[in-house]
Chains A and B, each alone.
Chain A
Amino acid sequence: MHNKPFTPWLFLAPSFLGFVAFTLFPIVFSLVLAFCAWDLFRPPRWVGWENFQQLLGFTVREIPAINPMLGAVLFFVCLALAAGGMIRLRGFGRTAVIMALLVLAVVILLQAWEPVNERFWYYTANTFYLLLGLPISMACSLGLAVLLNQTIPGRNLFRLAFFLPSIVGGVGIYLLWKWIFNTEYGLINSVIAMVHPAGGPAWLESQAWAKNALIIMSVWATAGGANMVLYLAALQNVDPQLHEAACIDGAGKWRQFLSITWPMVSPTTAFILIMGVIGGFQGGFDAAYVMTRGGPAGATTTLSYFIYENGFRYFYMGRAAAASWILFVMVLGLTLANWKWMSNRINY
């Protein structure tokens, strides 16, 4: 459309100013901060890679040549390469990165690996563990969508009922679930007690079960929400003739699901998986803060919680910034890996 040269800038200005002030500038600031030590009271101090060494650094037993700094830098470079470069790298570069990661895996398996900050790795593992809720929730979403994708009485009421848990959220719902997971009088353990007199686990007070409790809650909250709606839309785009043809060829319901439905909704699966990993990997703070304060003994502390604690409880601003960049690189890596893996498996 024809317009005067400055008109677009007038439209863009309010958003762009805010974007620069509250997004772009903080991002650049954070990048610098990651190489500083600053508690906000004394003036900031440039420390180079030390924050990254404090988090990612490790030594290898019996091999003194690898000092924590080298280990951290190596690891970070590998991670960044794996995140950003794997798609572009060909030949030797790719082999080198894969070999480095393999060697690291062997070192960890041989238990010769001695990290500088063990807690950081524990919290990283927690973050990955909590991602297990995603495939469970996606399976439920797809199952519900398949059931709803037929002429069934009260179909719209079902849709609303399933959607409600995903829309109510926040601290009020976390409090509700804290009450539901109560060991003595909670809803879940009351149900378990009706069939199994010995009673259920201590859920949020148990190091082994606290993460599972959070997963159960997240499945409840997400199974019937936007993901189910997306699956439903995808199912409605599947040509019924495909099913008819398969039926004539003698395929049963399960066979039809595997050979028609699942491949036809695979783009939706890819989209939900990628968005879910991005969101899930950064999340976990609100629920953990309200329900467990990251406990017991750090069992529900995720990376985002770790960043909050470092930044706003101990005022290690530099280390928190470094951790948030590590989180970013991990999310980027997972997303690109996901993307590549899925693009080979999307069927059309």
Chain B
Amino acid sequence: MRPQTYKIIKVAGFLLLLAVAITMLYPLLWMLGTSVKTNDPAALLREGAGAGVFPSDRNILSNLFPPVWHWDNFAEVFRISPFARYYFNSALIALVVTAGQLVTSSLAAYAFGRLIFRGREKIFFLYLATLMVPASVTLIPLFIIMSKAGLVNSYFVLIVPPMFGAYGTFMLRQFFKGIPDELEEAACIDGCNALMRFIYVVLPLSAPALATLGIFTFLGNWQSFLYPLVMVSSDNLKTIPLGLLNFVDENSANWPLLMAASVWSILPVIGIFLFGQRFFVSGTRLGGVKG
């Protein structure tokens, strides 16, 4: 290929990537832009139709941001709904579930991956087999059990059942299996029992895998929707996704407020993303694929 053609292809590729990046990010910018617009008739009269979500022209560039940014929408969300409570519930549940998952999964993964006992492969196969079963299969009986036990509408039902995951166990087991035996043998000679080897040898070496599992468990629970929707109806126990839904019912066409609430809901996610980006783009969580 002539160098000139090569250069043209490269520039075209770059421009294409740029176009895709803009397409990907524009909806999120649109979200931010809408969240600082206003629905207040007085403000619309003062600042023109461009300050609201129903502008007179449909130019997506000039309509992205309003002439005056109404940051107050973000405070208004907390004033007109128990959003602080939703935030607290979501954070509490996601944190405790994540901690629980890390503890139970890593302990079980150590047994499956590095210890020998009768029935190990059979039990592990049982874990794997349930990964294929849709969540709706277990959700219905779980709801019946919890409601008969009088446990629906409690922190218990939101926190305890999600703390156990076959997926996390599977992922960590794959990782643990890759740690060289010699390290544990050395610790064994130094007089370490299984628990000490687990704590002082295996866990420190698995920090990236644990971080990845932790991040994805946290995000999964932060965004979890169907499970709390089924299990909880009391306003005091609602998480952010459920709270947002309440918000829609009460402020149906107030897009600026809805978008402000939505921005609040994804803010921690973006924070975690920027903080832990290497765990997302490394693909460790999908382990075991050879390509």
Residues of A within 8 A of B (CB): 1-3, 5, 7-9, 11-12, 14-16, 18-19, 21-27, 29-30, 33, 40, 144, 147-148, 150, 152-153, 158-165, 167-173, 175-177, 179-180, 184-185, 187, 189-191, 193-194, 220, 224, 226, 229-230, 233-234, 237, 247, 253, 265, 267-268, 271, 278, 282, 285-286, 289-290, 304, 307-308, 311-312, 317, 320-321, 324-325, 327-328, 331-332, 335
In the complex, the answer to whether B269 meets A328 with C-beta atoms within 8 Å is: no
Contacts of A234 in B (CB 8 A): 291
Q: A18-B104, A167-B280 are in contact. Are A11 and B291 (CB under 8 A)?
A: no
Considering the chains assembled together, what is the distance between the CA atoms of A152 and B17 in angstroms? 10
In the complex, the answer to whether B138 meets A247 with C-beta atoms within 8 Å is: no
Q: A22-B142, A158-B17, A253-B9 are in contact. Are A308 and B136 (CB under 8 A)?
A: yes
Q: Offer 21 A-B interface pairs, CB within 8 angstroms, sorted by A.
A: A11-B107, A14-B108, A18-B163, A19-B127, A26-B138, A147-B16, A150-B10, A158-B17, A162-B21, A169-B219, A171-B262, A175-B259, A176-B27, A176-B30, A179-B34, A187-B60, A220-B27, A312-B143, A324-B134, A327-B136, A331-B134
Contacts of A267 in B (CB 8 A): 289-291
Query: From B117, which residue of chain A is reached at the shortest CB distance?
Result: A8
Query: Is B171 on the interface with A (CB-CB < 8 A)?
Result: no
In the complex, the answer to whether A191 meets B111 with C-beta atoms within 8 Å is: no
Within 8 A of A (CB), among B23-58: 23-28, 30-31, 34, 53-55, 58
In the complex, the answer to whether B54 meets A33 with C-beta atoms within 8 Å is: no
Considering the chains assembled together, what is the distance between the CA atoms of A3 and B192 in angstroms? 11
Query: Is B177 on the interface with A (CB-CB < 8 A)?
Result: no
In the complex, the answer to whether A311 meets B143 with C-beta atoms within 8 Å is: yes
**Within the complex, which residue of A1, A230, A278, A317 is in contact with B286, where a contact is CB–CB below 8 Å?**
A230
Considering the chains assembled together, what is the distance between the CA atoms of A270 and B284 in angstroms? 18
Contacts of A320 in B (CB 8 A): 136, 140
In the complex, the answer to whether B261 meets A2 with C-beta atoms within 8 Å is: no
Within 8 A of A (CB), among B247-291: 248, 255, 258-259, 261-263, 265-266, 269-270, 273, 277, 280-283, 285-286, 289-291
Majority DSSP secondary structure for residues of B touching A: helix
Chain B CB count within 10 A is highest, among A168, A177, A185, A226, for A168
In the complex, the answer to whether A194 meets B277 with C-beta atoms within 8 Å is: no
Q: How many residues of B contact A (CB 8 A)?
A: 104
**Within the complex, which residue of A19, A160, A265 is in contact with B166, where a contact is CB–CB below 8 Å?**
A19
In the complex, the answer to whether A180 meets B104 with C-beta atoms within 8 Å is: no
**Within the complex, which residue of B133, B147, B283 is in contact with A230, where a contact is CB–CB below 8 Å?**
B283
Chain A CB count within 10 A is highest, among B240, B258, B262, B270, for B262
Considering the chains assembled together, what is the distance between the CA atoms of A229 and B291 in angstroms? 12
Considering the chains assembled together, what is the distance between the CA atoms of A16 and B93 in angstroms? 21
In the complex, the answer to whether A229 meets B281 with C-beta atoms within 8 Å is: yes
**Within the complex, which residue of B135, B241, B283 is in contact with A282, where a contact is CB–CB below 8 Å?**
B135
In the complex, the answer to whether B133 meets A328 with C-beta atoms within 8 Å is: yes
Considering the chains assembled together, what is the distance between the CA atoms of A85 and B48 in angstroms? 67
Query: From A217, which residue of chain B is reached at the shortest CB distance?
Result: B27
In the complex, the answer to whether B137 meets A164 with C-beta atoms within 8 Å is: no
Considering the chains assembled together, what is the distance between the CA atoms of A316 and B267 in angstroms? 39
Closest 10 CB pairs of A and B: A18-B164, A234-B291, A170-B223, A15-B108, A172-B262, A29-B141, A172-B265, A11-B111, A26-B141, A8-B117
